[in-house]
Chain A
Amino acid sequence: MLLIPCPWCGACNENEFICGGESDRKRPTDPAAVDDKTWTDYLYNSTNHKGMTGEWWWHVHGCGKWFTIRRDTVTHCIESAPGDQT
Chain B
Amino acid sequence: MRRLASGGDIDRNRPLTFRFDGRRYQGYAGDTLASALLAAGVDVIGRSFKYHRPRGILSAGVEETNAIVQVTAPFEEPNVRATMLPLVDGLDARSVNCWPGRRFDVGALNGLLAPLIPAGFYYKTFLWRRWDFYARYIRRMAGLGKTPAVAEPGRYERVHHHVDVLIIGAGAAGLAAALAAARSGARTMLLDDGVAPGGQLLSGGAQIDGAGAANWIGAVTAELDGLDNATRLARTVATGVYDHNLVIAVEEAPEQSWVRERLWHIRAARVVLASGAVERPLVFPDNDRPGVMLAGAATAYVKRFAVAPGWRAVYFTNNASAYAGAAALHDAGIEVAAVIDSRADPGAEIELACSRGIEVRTAHAVVGVDGRSRVRRAMVAPLRGGRPAPVDADLLGVSGGFNPLVHLYSHTGARPVYDDRLAAFVPGDMPPTLDVAGAARGIFDTAGVIKDGFRAGADAVHSLGLERPEIDAPPVDDGPSFAIEPLWTVKGGRGKAFVDYQNDVTLDDIALAHRENFRSIEHIKRYTTAGMATDQGKTGNPNVIGAVAELAGATAGETGTTTFRPPYRPVSFGVIGGMERGQLIIPARTTPITAWNKAHGAAMNEAGANFRRPFYYPRPGESMADAVRREALAVRNGVGIYDGTPLGKFELHGRDVPVLLELVYTNRWHDLAVGRGRYGLMLREDGRLLDDGVTFRLDDDRYLMSCGTGAAFTVLTHLERALQTEWRHLKVFVINVSAQWANLCVCGPRAREVLAAVGTDIDLSPTFRFMDFRRGRVAGVEARVARVSYTGELSFEVNVRRRHAREVWEALMAAGAAWDITPIGSETSGVLRIEKGFVAPGIEGDNITNADDAGMSWIVDMSKKDFIGRRSLERDRKLGGERQHVVGLLPDDPAFVVAEGSALLQSGDHADTPNFQGHVTASCFSPTLDRPIALALLKNGHHRHGERVVVSGLQRTVGAEVTRPVFYDPTGARMRA
> Residues of A at under 8 Å CB distance from B?
1-3, 13-14, 18, 20, 23, 26-27, 30-32, 34, 36, 39-40, 43, 56, 58, 60, 64-66, 76, 86
Cβ A58 vs Cβ B871 within 8 A: no
Q: Which residues of A contact B717 (CB under 8 A)?
A: 18, 58, 60
Across chains A and B, the number of contacting residue pairs, with CB separation under 8 Å, is 55
B721 near A66: Cβ-Cβ < 8 Å = yes
> B161 near A: Cβ within 8 Å?
no
Q: Which residue of B lies closest to A78 (CB)?
A: B244
Q: Interface range on chain B: under 10, 10 to 19, 20 to 34, or 35 or more?
A: 20 to 34
**Complex Cα distance A40/B872, Å?**
8
7 further A-B contacts with Cβ under 8 Å, apart from A3-B243, A30-B865, are: A13-B246, A14-B243, A20-B725, A31-B866, A32-B871, A43-B685, A43-B872
Q: B866 touching A58 by the CB < 8 A rule?
A: no
Most chain A beta-carbon neighbours within 10 Å: one of B871, B872, B874: B871
* A31 to B: closest C-beta gap in Å: 4
Can you name the residue of chain A whose Cβ is closest to the Cβ of B726? A27
| B242 and chain A: residue at smallest CB distance | A1
Residue of A18, A36, A56, A86 with most partner-chain B CB within 10 A: A36
A66 and B726 alpha carbons, distance in the complex (Å): 11
Whether a CB of chain A sits under 8 angstroms from the CB of B900 is: no
**Do residues A2 and B244 form an inter-chain contact, with CB atoms below 8 A?**
yes
Q: Is B875 an interface residue (CB 8 A)?
A: yes
Complex formed: what's the CA distance from A20 to B721 in Å?
Answer: 8
| In the complex, residue of chain A having the shortest beta-carbon distance to the beta carbon of B879 | A36
Q: How far is the CA of A62 from the CA of B119 in the complex (A)?
A: 52
A20-B721, A58-B717 known; A32 vs B866 contact (CB < 8 Å): yes
Bound form: Cα–Cα A23–B875 in Å: 24
**Complex interface: chain B residues within 8 A of A34 (CB):** 871
A3 engages B725 (CB within 8 Å): no
Q: Are B721 and A58 in contact (CB under 8 A)?
A: yes
B267 within 8 Å of A (CB atoms): yes
- Does the CB pair B244–A1 fall under 8 Å? yes
Q: Which residues of A have CB within 8 Å of B105?
A: none
Per-position contact with A for B468-507: 1 when CB-CB < 8 Å, else 0?
A: 0000000000000000000000000000000000000000
A56:B725 contact, CB within 8 angstroms: yes
> Shortest CB–CB separation between residue A23 and chain B, in angstroms?
8
| Across-interface contacts of B725 in A (CB, < 8 A) | 20, 23, 56, 66
Partner of A30, one of B685, B721, B866: B866
A20: chain B residues within 8 A (beta carbon): 721, 725
B728 within 8 A of A: yes
Choose among A32, A56, A60, A86 the residue that contacts B865 (Cβ–Cβ < 8 A): A32
Q: Which residue of B lies closest to A74 (CB)?
A: B413
CB distance from A85 to the nearest CB of B (A): 10
Complex: A55 Cα to B724 Cα, angstroms = 14
| B76 in contact (CB, < 8 A) | no
**Does B508 sit at the interface, judged by CB under 8 A?**
no
Q: How far is the CA of A41 from the CA of B905 in the complex (A)?
A: 36
In the bound assembly, the distance between CA atoms of A36 and B685 in angstroms comes to 14
Check: B89 CB closer than 8 A to any chain A CB: no
Per-residue contact bits, chain B 661-672, to A (CB 8 Å; 1 contact, 0 not): 000000000000
B244 & A76 in contact (Cβ 8 Å cutoff): yes
Chain A proximity mask over B231-247: 1 for CB below 8 Å, otherwise 0: 00000000000111010
Interfacial chain B residues near A23, Cβ < 8 Å: 725
Shortest C-beta distance, B454 to chain A (Å), equals 28
Report the bound CA distance from A1 to B721 in whole Å. Answer: 23
Selected A-B contacts with CB under 8 Å, 18 pairs: A2-B243, A3-B243, A3-B244, A3-B246, A13-B246, A20-B725, A23-B725, A27-B685, A30-B865, A32-B866, A36-B878, A39-B871, A58-B724, A60-B717, A65-B724, A66-B724, A76-B243, A86-B728
* C-alpha spacing A48/B246, complex, angstroms: 25
Interface string of B837-873 (1 = CB under 8 A from A): 0000000000000000000000000000110001110
Nearest A residue (CB) for B734: A64
In the assembled complex, the CB of B291 is this many whole angstroms from the nearest CB of chain A, namely: 45
Q: Is B782 an interface residue (CB 8 A)?
A: no
Check: B370 CB closer than 8 A to any chain A CB.
no
Chain B proximity of A64: nearest CB distance (Å) = 7
Judged by a CB distance under 8 angstroms, whether B961 is at the interface is no
CB of B872 within 8 A of CB of A39, answer yes
Residue of B nearest to A65 (CB): B724
Cα–Cα distance between A75 and B871 once the two chains are bound (Å): 37
